[in-house]
Chain A
Amino acid sequence: MNQLPLWVEAAVAALLVLSGLFVVISAFGFLRLPDFFLRMHPPALAYTFGSWCVTLASILYFSMIESQLVLHPWLIIITLSITVPVTTLLLARVALFRRRAAGAADTPPPLTLRRDS
C-alpha cells in the first residue's frame, strides 16, 4: 500500500471527526429539545452534514489512493440533499395535520380554507 501525503491524511481525519461531531451534537439536540417541530431539525441537519463529511472524506481518500478521480460517491451527496428535505417536510406536515386534527389552540389554520359556493 502506497503512503499518502500527510495533508491528505490530515484532511480525511478532520472530515471524519467533523462528521462525528455533527452526529453527537444532533443526538444531544434530539434529546434536549422540547417540541416535535424543534426536534425535527437536529437529525435532518446532522444527517446531511455528517454524511457529506464522510462522503467527502471517502472521495478524497480513494481518489488519492487509486490515483484517479473517484466521483461516484458524489451521488450519495446529491441523493441525500434531495431526500432529506423531502422527508423532513413531509414529517412536519404530518405533525401539523395531527395537531390540527387534535384541535390544539396554537396551530395556524390551513393556508386557504374557504368554502366554494
Chain B
Amino acid sequence: MPLAALLLLPFLGSVLTALLPTRARSELAACAGFVSAGAAVWVISLFPRVRDGGVIRETISWVPSLGLDLVLRLDGFAWMFAVLITVIGALVCLYARYYMSPEDPVARLYAFLLAFMGAMLGVVLSGNLVQLVVFWELTSLVSFLLIGYWHHRVDAQRGARMALTVTGAGGLALLGGVLLLGHIVGSYELDVALASGDRVRAHPLYPAALVLILLGALTKSAQFPFHFWLPRAMAAPTPVSAYLHSATMVKAGVFLLARLWPVLSGTELWFWIVSGAGMTTLLLGAYIAMFQHDLKRVLAYSTISHLGLITLLFGLNSSLAAVAGVFHIMNHATFKASLFMAAGVVDHETGTRDIRRLNGLIRSMPRTGALALVASGAMAGVPLLNGFLSKEMFFAETMFFSAHPSVEVMLPVVATIAAIFAVVYSLRFGYDIFFGPPSTDLPRQPEEAPRWMRTPIELLVLSCLIVGVAPTISIGPSLAAAARPVVGGTLPEYSLAIWHGFNPPFVMSLVAIAGGVLGYLWLRKHQEQGRLQDAPFVGRLNARRLFESALLGLTRLSRRVLRLAGTRRLQTQMFTIIAVALLLALLAARGVPLEWGDRDRLPASPAFVLLWVIGAVCAVGAAVMAKFHRLIAITLMGGAGLVTCLTFMWFSAPDLALTQIVVEIITTILLLLGLRWLPMRIEGISRPVTARDRMRRGRDLLLAIGAGSGLAALSYAMLTRPAPHSISPFFLSRALPEGGGANVVNVMLVDFRAFDTLGEITVLGAVALTVYALLRRFRPPPESIEQPHQQRAFPADVVTDLVKPRTAEDAARGYMMVPAVIARLLLPVSVLVAAHFLLRGHNEPGGGFVAGLVVAIAMLMQYMVSGALWLEARARLRPVRWIAVGLLLGAITGLGALAVGYPFLTTHTAHVRLPLVGEVHLPSATFFDLGVFAVVVGATLLTLTALAHQSLRAHRRPTQSPASSTSEGTS
C-alpha cells in the first residue's frame, strides 16, 4: 500500500514531533525534515508508474455496509503536486530550524507543518470527491493553527480567523457542489466523474454545481473578491508563509480547477467566471503589490496575482492554456518559496521588512542577495529563468485566443500590463533592497545568513535556473506526465524551447520588461518625494472592510434574533419548558383513555398516610416559602426528601432508600452553598398588584397544578398496572449464577451493564471538571459581593469567639472548637461505613456510588467545621486525581477481561482465602466498583468545593465606567 503509507507518514511524523520536547530545535527539525524528505523520495520513486498516463489506485474499505471506502489515487498531476508538497515541505523544515527563535515553541510548528503536509497530500491523493472535501477542510483547519502560530499577537489571531472563515465557508460551498456533482454523475468516485464530462455539462444542475465548486476553489486560491485573507495570513511565521503560499494551501484551489478541468470546463459559464476572476485578480494583485512597503506583503499580493494568472489560464477553455497553467503552478511554487525564504532571511538578519528602510544589502549579504535577485527575475519573467517560459506560453495563449473581438483585444493588453506591474514589483523587491547606498539605521547589523539557512533557497533557485535554461531535459517529462490527466489524456502540441523566434509573445515580454524598468524608475522618483505611498484608485475598494462589516452585521443580526426569540429570565424559560412538556404529553395522550389499572391495591396503612401527609405539607411549604425564605424552603425540601426515602424503605427498597438519603444530603449542601450568592429578595413590592399580575400568577399556578397532577396521574396509572414483561426477569434469574452477586441492582451496574456505567462515570467526571472550569470564572452579582449580614454583625477589627469565615485560617476556634473536635472523630467512622457499603455492595444494598457519596459527605463535614483553609493545609484531597484514578481503574478492570480472551468488562469471581478473615468472595467487579467509588468521591468534592471556594475568593466589584477605574488607578 504505497499511497496509504505515504499519506500516513506525515501524520505519524506530526504526532511524533508533538511528543518531542518543545524547544529541542535541531532534533525536531531533523525529525520533521526526514519525514518530509522520506515522503518526497517515496513519491519521486513512483514516477515510472505514472509517467505514461498510468494511475495508481488503492481502496481501503472503511464502512463497507454504507459503501464508504477510502480511495487513494495517484496520476501524473497528483504526482506533480505530491512532489511539490513534500520537497518544499522538507526544505521549509530545514529553513525553519534557523529561522525560528530559540524561545518559540517549535514542536507545535513542526507538528502543524507535518499535519498540514498530510492534509494537502490527502487532497491531492483523494480518489473520492467527498474524501477530497474532508481533507480540504482539514487544510483550512490546520492552516488556521499555522497562521495563528504566534497566538498572542492580535494580527495573527485576526489573520487566522479570517483565513479560516473565508476558506472554511468556501469549503462548505465546495461540499455542496461536490454533492451536486456526485448526484449528476451518480458516483463520488473521481474516476467516474472524470469520465463523464459531457453528461455533467449538459445537466440542468451544472450551473449550480459549477458555481458552488468554484466558490470553494476561488476562496482557497484567494481569487478576487476573496483575495483579502491572503495578505492578512502574512502574520504567520515566514517558513509557514513560504509553505502555505507557494506549494500548498492556495494551490489547492487551482489544483481543484485543474483536477476537475476535464469535467467542468469548456462552457461559456466556466470561461466567464474563471477567467474573469483570474484576470481581475491578476491585474489587481499586481497593481497593489507595486505599492506595498512590506517585503512579505509584496510577495503576498504577487502570489494573488500569479494565482490569478493560473486561474485565467485554466479559464480559457484551451488545453494548451491548461498545460501552461500546470507549468506555471510548478514554476510559481519554486520561485515563490525561495522568495519568501529570502524575505525571511532579510527580516531575520536586519530586523525589518520595510522596503523603504532596506538598501544596499548586497554588500553585507551577497549570497542571499544574488539568490533573491535570480528568484525575483524568475518572478518578473526574465529570459533563461523558469518564470519566463510559462509566462511566454501565457502570452501566446492570450494572443491566439479566439472569442469575441473585444475579449481578443483586451486579453493581450491586460496580460502585458500585468507583466509590466510584475516587473515593477520584482524590481522593488530585488533591486530596491539590495542596491543603492547601504542603510545605516537598521535594528540589527545585517550579515550573511547561516549556511544551512541558505541551502533551501539555493536548491530552489538552482531548479529555477535549470528549468529556465534546459526545460526540455529537466522538466519536460514531468510536465508531460502532470499535464496529460488535466487535459483528458491527449497532450496538445507544445514546445518548451527558450527561443521561438521573434514572435508576438516575445515582443510582449520585451515590452513588459522595458515598461517595467521605466515604471519602476518613475515610481521610485515619486515615492522618494513622498507621493504614491498607497495604491491609488483602489483604496476605497477594500474587500477586507466589506468582509468585516458583513461579519459585524451578521453578529448583530444574530444577537437581535436571539433577543427576539430567546430570554435570559428563568421564569420564562421554566414556563416554556413545562408548558411545552405538558402540551406534548397531552398530544401524545390524545385518544388514549387515562384509566387506572386493575392491579391489586395494598390496603392503606394509617402510619403511611400520615407520613405522606407530612411529605405533602413539606413540599407545599417549600413552594410557598421559596419566594422570600429560601433557607426554610430548602429545609422543607429536605423534609419531603426524607419522606421519599422512608417511602422506599416502606416498600422494601433499601438500596434506593440508601441512595436517596445520601443524594438528598449532597443536594441540600449544594443548594445551601449556592444560596450564598443569590441576592436578597425585597419583600415589600412598591407598586400595587395589578389585574395583569394576578392573571400571570393564576396562569403559572394552573400550569404548575396541571403538570404536577398530570405526572401524578401518570405514575398512578403506571403503578396500578401489572409490571410489563421486560428484561427484569432475565436480570433477576441471572444475577447470582452468572454475575456472582445477590444484589441485582449492583450486578447490573458493575457487570451486565458495566459499559453503560463506565460511560456514566466518564460523564460524571467531565461534568465535575466543567463545573470547576465554569466556577473559576464565576463573578457574583454586585449585590451579593458583600459579606452576608451575619458576618458583618461585628466590626472587622473585633476579636471575638465568633470567627469570621472569610478571614479565619482555622474556623475551629472559639465557639466552633468543641463541635470541630468532635466532628473530626466522625471521619474514620464514615470511612468505615463507606468501606462496609463498598465491600458488601455486590450482595446487599450498597455499592461504589453510595460509598463514594458517604466519603464525600464526611469530607464536606470536615470542611464545614474546620474551614477550607485549615482542611486543605492538612489533607491533600486532589479530587481531580481521584477522578482520574477511578476512570483508569474502571477501564483497566474492563481491559483485564480482554487480556484473558473475554469481551470487554467481563467479570470473573475469585474465591480467595485470607488469613484471619477466612474465605473471601472477590469478583473483579469489585475493582470496577472501586473505580466508580473514586470517581464519585472526586466529582462530588470537586463540584462542591469549587462552589465553596467562592466565599474565600476576593471578588472585585465591577467598575462602573472606564473613567472611574482610571481615576482609581492613578490615585
| A interface list, Cβ under 8 A from B | 72, 75, 78-79, 82-83, 85-86, 89-90, 93, 97, 101, 110-116
Least Cβ distance of B164 to chain A in Å?
Answer: 57
- CB of A86 within 8 A of CB of B833, answer no
Given A82-B826, A86-B819, A86-B865 in contact, is the A110-B801 Cβ separation under 8 Å? Answer: yes
Given A79-B833, A82-B829, A110-B800 in contact, is the A93-B823 Cβ separation under 8 Å? Answer: no
Select A111's contact among B801, B830, B865, beta carbons within 8 Å.
B801
- CB of B829 within 8 A of CB of A78, answer yes
Q: Which residue of A lies closest to B827 (CB)?
A: A82
CA distance A111 to B817 in the complex (A): 13
CA distance A86 to B861 in the complex (A): 11
Whether a CB of chain A sits under 8 angstroms from the CB of B875 is: no
Contacts of A116 in B (CB 8 A): 797-799
Least Cβ distance of A28 to chain B in Å?
Answer: 19
Contacts of B801 in A (CB 8 A): 110-112
- CB of B799 within 8 A of CB of A112, answer yes
- CB of B832 within 8 A of CB of A75, answer yes
Contacts of B607 in A (CB 8 A): none
Given A86-B819, A110-B802, A115-B798 in contact, is the A72-B836 Cβ separation under 8 Å? Answer: yes
CA distance A113 to B794 in the complex (A): 10
- CB of B826 within 8 A of CB of A83, answer yes
Given A82-B826, A97-B790, A97-B802 in contact, is the A111-B814 Cβ separation under 8 Å? Answer: yes
Least Cβ distance of A99 to chain B in Å?
Answer: 12
Least Cβ distance of A9 to chain B in Å?
Answer: 24
Q: Which residue of A lies closest to B836 (CB)?
A: A72
Contacts of A79 in B (CB 8 A): 826, 829-830, 833
Select B793's contact among A72, A78, A85, A101, beta carbons within 8 Å.
A101
A-B contact pairs, 5 of them (CB 8 A): A83-B823, A97-B802, A101-B790, A113-B794, A114-B799
CA distance A79 to B861 in the complex (A): 13
Provide the main secondary structure of the chain B interface: helix
Given A75-B836, A93-B815 in contact, is the A82-B822 Cβ separation under 8 Å? Answer: yes
Contacts of A72 in B (CB 8 A): 836
Least Cβ distance of B950 to chain A in Å?
Answer: 22
A-B pairs with lowest CB-CB distance, top 10: A111-B801, A86-B819, A110-B800, A82-B826, A89-B819, A93-B815, A86-B823, A78-B829, A86-B822, A113-B800
Least Cβ distance of A102 to chain B in Å?
Answer: 11
Least Cβ distance of A43 to chain B in Å?
Answer: 15
Contacts of B800 in A (CB 8 A): 110-113
Contacts of B195 in A (CB 8 A): none
Q: Which residue of B lies closest to A94 (CB)?
A: B790
Q: Which of B799-836 contact A (CB under 8 A)?
A: 799-802, 814-815, 818-819, 822-823, 825-826, 829-830, 832-833, 836
Contacts of A110 in B (CB 8 A): 800-802
Contacts of A89 in B (CB 8 A): 818-819
Least Cβ distance of A97 to chain B in Å?
Answer: 7
CA distance A89 to B836 in the complex (A): 29
Given A75-B832, A112-B801 in contact, is the A82-B823 Cβ separation under 8 Å? Answer: yes
Contacts of B823 in A (CB 8 A): 82-83, 86
Q: Which residue of B lies closest to A87 (CB)?
A: B819
Least Cβ distance of B657 to chain A in Å?
Answer: 15
Contacts of B832 in A (CB 8 A): 75
- CB of B822 within 8 A of CB of A85, answer yes
Least Cβ distance of A92 to chain B in Å?
Answer: 9
Most buried by A among B797, B814, B819, B832: B819
CA distance A34 to B504 in the complex (A): 118
CA distance A78 to B823 in the complex (A): 12
CA distance A79 to B793 in the complex (A): 34
CA distance A90 to B818 in the complex (A): 10
- CB of A113 within 8 A of CB of B798, answer yes
